[in-house]
Amino acid sequence: MANQDAPAKAAAAIPTADDLRMEVLEKQMKEIDRRVEAKKAEQKRLEEAAAEFLATHVTEREREIIRRIVANAVNDGKYEAMVYSFPAKLCTDGGRAINNIEPDWPTTLQGKARELYDGFKANLQPRGYRLKAMIIDFPGGMPGNVGFFLNWEPKTF
């Protein structure tokens, strides 16, 4: 009689198609939950970074990084370097004035970007440097990040 029970037990051990579909669905739901949590964590990180950008001053470490970027560009024989970048959404207009190359684009700067621009105007521009701001990426077709480009190329007339 043991031989007759073996096929029945084997059939019972085979999951149904519904069981397999449910298992796949549960795995997909876990992956969706994982992605939602990762997106929430990334959003929180971005919000904290934005708050820090707007509320704190440029650090000496950031200034040293800028000096190294410029030194590396000079060593490479270049006359320009992107020395800073930040999200366009941290401009008062979301980067519109920078994207449209409007002359009053500096008025849209806030936080560390404004501090760097003011430092440029006070310390570097009188020494012959130029600064331009450009939107450097367009995720989803919208301005993503702004790049500050410091230039020391000789003026051509």
Residues 64-91 pLDDT 10s: 999 999 999 999 999 999 999 999 999 9
Average pLDDT of the residues of the chain: 91
Answer with the residue of higher pLDDT: 150 or 57: 150
Q: Which of 56-60, 84-88, 102-106 has the lowest mean pLDDT?
A: 56-60
Q: How many domains does the chain have?
A: 2
**Coil vs helix vs strand at 116:** helix
Length of the chain counted residue by residue: 157
| pLDDT at residue number 155 | 83
- Euclidean distance between the first and the last CA atom of the chain, given in angstroms as a whole number: 103
Q: Which of 51-55, 106-110, 115-119, 141-145 has the lowest mean pLDDT?
A: 51-55
CA of 126: how far to CAs of 55, 71, 119, 148, 152, in Å?
28, 20, 11, 18, 12
- Check whether residue 45 and residue 64 sit in a common domain: no
- Check whether residue 73 and residue 131 sit in a common domain: yes
Give the position of tokens 């490479």. 76
Instruction: Report how far residue 154's alpha carbon sits from residue 19's, in angstroms, rounded to the nearest whole number.
Output: 72
pLDDT per position as a tens digit, 9-29: 766 789 999 999 999 999 999
Domain assignment of residue 157, yes or no: no
Question: Over 90: is that where the pLDDT of 126 sits?
Answer: yes
- Check whether residue 50 and residue 72 sit in a common domain: no
Domain that holds residue 47: 2-54
pLDDT per position as a tens digit, 32-52: 999 999 998 888 887 787 788
| pLDDT at residue number 72 | 97
- Check whether residue 87 and residue 146 sit in a common domain: yes
- Mean pLDDT for 125-141 is 96
- Dihedral sign computed on CA atoms, order 60, 65, 42, 99: positive
| pLDDT at residue number 32 | 93
